[in-house]
């Protein structure tokens, strides 16, 4: 009797694992299935490079891809130096009590809801950017990227700290034995050997920046164009989904958001496997 119970339980655990992993596949299948009519019409690749002009019958998502790239890469450019500095501070530079408090604060920051960054951004940063540059409306690539950068910094910092902490003890002992100062140790021992870990953190943060919806939706102005400067408005893939979801279910506009979904999904796949590859490589070495 007991054995049957065991078997049933094991089967149940296995089935739930199977179900959870099938969901991952089901989401992609659904996106492709719903977007298929439009993709078949002109080819998936065509959609990626065509402009968006619903009245002329063009439902390409090229401007959104460019908008996403601009905002997330610029956000990363803001977040990377900040995170590097903060992780230096936590790992070696700040005195122990300061670094502990600082780390707590950063951990707490990871829990601040995204919508609150957007809310404060609209009423604080948008008018500020508008008046600072005396140009445009303040709802632009730059504003969104700044807020996004601040938002992903805490996560990125903690990832960096983790990869610093994974440096083999023996390396650090060797540096100590040679009489290196903490900063020297950081610069010449920890940093070079944590290179892959840093890259991993950057890639995961990029994944988060691309996947974020609210900040871009609330702060980037949502115009469908390829931005020519950072002070111009733009639309991301995620914001595009949020804006067009309301359209007619059978219209090509509506179908096109599934191609956005597919692009985002494929991007996630790339990010995930790149990150997995890097962390395997890092573990092998350690």
Partner 1 sequence: MKKISWIQPLLIISILLLVCAPAFSGSLDPFQGEKGVLKISGGTAHIPVMKDAAKKIMVMNPEIQISIAGGGSGVGIKQVGEGLVAIGNSGRKPTDEEISRYKLVLHKWAIDGVGPVVNPKNPVKALSKSQMKDIFAGKIENWKMLGGEDRKINIYTRDEASGTREVFWKKGLDEGEIIPGAHVVVSNGAMKSAIAQDPYGIGYVSVGHIDATVAPVALDGVVPTIETVQEGTYTIARGLYSNTRGEPSGLTKKFLDFLFTPEGKKIIEEKGFIPVR
Partner 2 sequence: MKPRTLEIFSIVFAWIAGLILVSAVLVLLGYLFIKGYTCLNLSLIFGDTPPLRALLFRARVFDGLFPAIAGTLVLVILSIVLAIPIGISTGIYLAEYAGSRIKRALDAFFDVLSGIPSIVIGLFGFSFAVFLHKQYSNRIGPCLLISSIALSLLVLPYIIRTTQAALEGIPSNIRMTALALGATRLQNVFLVLIPRSLSGIMSGIILAIGRCAEDTAVIMLTGAVASAGVPRSVFAQFEALPFYIYYISSQYSDPEELMRGYGASIILLLLCALLFAVAYGIRKGLSHFVFYRP
Among positions 206-245, residues that touch partner 2 (CB under 8 A) are: 207-208, 210-214, 218, 238, 241-242, 245
Nearest to 76 by CA among 214, 262, 218, 210: 210
CA distance 189 to 282: 15
CB of 262 to partner 1, least distance (A): 21
Number of residues engaging partner 2 in binding (CB under 8 A) = 89
Q: Does 261 bind partner 2 (CB under 8 A)?
A: yes
CB of 33 to partner 1, least distance (A): 19
Q: How far is CA 14 from the centre of its chain?
A: 31
Q: Does 111 bind partner 2 (CB under 8 A)?
A: yes
Q: How many residues does the chain have?
A: 286
Eight-class DSSP state of 134: T
Q: Considering only 10-18, 196-204, 246-254, 266-274, which stretch makes contact with partner 1 by CB under 8 A?
A: 246-254
Eight-class DSSP state of 61: -
Question: Phi and psi at residue 222, in whole multiples of 5°?
Answer: 60, 20
110 binds, among partner 1, partner 2, none (CB under 5 to 8 A by kind): partner 2
Give the sign of the dihedral formed by CA 218, CA 224, CA 227, CA 232: negative
CB of 245 to partner 1, least distance (A): 9
Of 147, 150, 156, 244, the one binding partner 1 by CB under 8 A? 244
Quick one: 53 or 77, whose CB is closer to partner 1? 53
């Amino acid at each position: 009797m007991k054995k049957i119970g065991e078997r049933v339980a094991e089967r149940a655990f296995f089935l739930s694992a199977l179900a959870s992993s099938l969901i991952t596949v089901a989401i992609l299948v659904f996106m492709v299935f719903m977007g298929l009519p439009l993709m078949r019409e002109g080819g998936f690749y065509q959609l990626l490079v065509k402009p968006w002009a619903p009245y002329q019958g063009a439902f390409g998502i090229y401007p959104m891809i460019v908008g996403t790239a601009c905002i997330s890469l610029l956000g990363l450019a803001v977040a990377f130096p900040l995170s590097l500095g903060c992780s230096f501070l936590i790992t070696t530079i700040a005195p122990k009590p300061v670094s502990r408090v600082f780390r707590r604060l950063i951990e707490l920051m990871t829990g601040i809801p995204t919508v609150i960054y957007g809310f404060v951004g609209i009423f604080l940063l948008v008018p500020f950017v508008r008046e600072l540059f005396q140009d445009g409306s303040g709802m632009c690539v730059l504003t969104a990227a700044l807020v996004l950068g601040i938002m992903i910094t805490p996560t990125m910092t903690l990832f960096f700290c983790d990869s610093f902490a994974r440096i083999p003890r023996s390396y650090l002992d060797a540096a100590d034995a040679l009489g290196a100062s903490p900063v020297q140790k950081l610069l010449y021992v920890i940093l070079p050997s944590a290179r892959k870990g840093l890259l991993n953190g950057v890639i995961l943060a990029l994944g988060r920046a691309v996947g974020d919806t609210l900040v871009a939706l609330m702060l980037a102005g949502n115009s469908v164009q390829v931005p020519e400067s950072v002070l111009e408005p733009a639309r991301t893939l995620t914001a595009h989904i949020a804006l067009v979801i309301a359209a007619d279910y059978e219209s090509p506009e509506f179908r096109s958001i599934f191609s956005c979904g597919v692009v985002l999904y494929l991007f996630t796949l790339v990010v995930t496997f790149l990150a997995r590859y890097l962390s395997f490589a890092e573990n092998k070495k350690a």
